[in-house]
Amino acid sequence: MNAPLYNTEILRLAASVPFETRLEGAMASSEKRSPVCGSRITVDVNLDEAGRVAALGMVVRACALGQASAALMEAHAVGRSLDELDAARDDLTAWLAGERATPPDWPGLDLFTPALEHRGRHAAIRLAFEAVAEATRKARG
């Protein structure tokens, strides 16, 4: 792979969301931290009557890859069920680990193809997906 790790689209996504929004009275929260780079994400969720994400808040202190991944999560999480979030998290983990050939079925994740060979960056890319799935599970009780 000759593509740069921090390409223009990743940097654009990383800068696209302020990532300073907590939800007051959130149904549940989750905080995840990458032990490799120290990136950290705190997520708050509210669910609708069907158990789907209705509102999402995030505070992100992460590298550009973690921020870009959080932006993709934030842009597409509302309306998703716990099963969909778990599948996205698991498929992302498998793809980054080389256990599946194609990116997960989540808009934009193919942008991280250059990161496949940089294992030390994988945890930061997974943070938002792990945190939203965990917070949604907690909110469902």
Summary mean pLDDT of the chain: 94
Alpha helices in 7-140 (DSSP H): 8-14, 64-76, 82-96, 122-140
Assess whether pLDDT exceeds 90 at residue 136.
yes
Residue 98, token pair as written in the block:
């080389």
pLDDT in tens, 79-109: 999 999 999 999 999 999 999 999 999 999 9
Residues 77, 85: contact at Cβ < 8 Å?
Answer: yes
pLDDT in tens, 43-87: 999 999 999 999 999 999 999 999 999 999 999 999 999 999 999
Residues 85, 133: contact at Cβ < 8 Å?
Answer: yes
